[in-house]
Amino acid sequence: MMCGEALSNKAFSPPVRGAPAARPPRVEDEADGGAVQKAPNCYKCKYFMITHRAGKARACTMFGFKSDEMPSYVLYNVSGIHCMKFEDKDGADTSDES
């Protein structure tokens, strides 16, 4: 196996420094019967942290990165999928949001 074979064919293009990350679109998931998914609210996630550093004020302790944008936006822009590790700070079940 060559070095880059395991990576997807999707071209990686990091966000331009200083430009706001594009907000992830709402996506219909066929596995959920067409339910609309949206990016999780990082402020409600137990892995979200404020760093108080200029330029990298928000962090995700689960994935171990800091950014000036919301971690869920960065994750979507890099991988193309919504965050799968979101856990509510209060421990409340978020699967039945009405």
Sign of the Cα torsion 41, 86, 94, 52 reads negative
- The reported pLDDT for the residue numbered 90 is 84
Give me the long-range contacts of 9-12 (CB less than 8 A, separation at least 24). Answer: 10/80, 12/78
- Listed by start position, the domains of the chain span 39-87
pLDDT, tens only, 12-71: 555 555 555 556 555 555 555 555 567 889 999 999 999 988 889 999 999 999 999 999
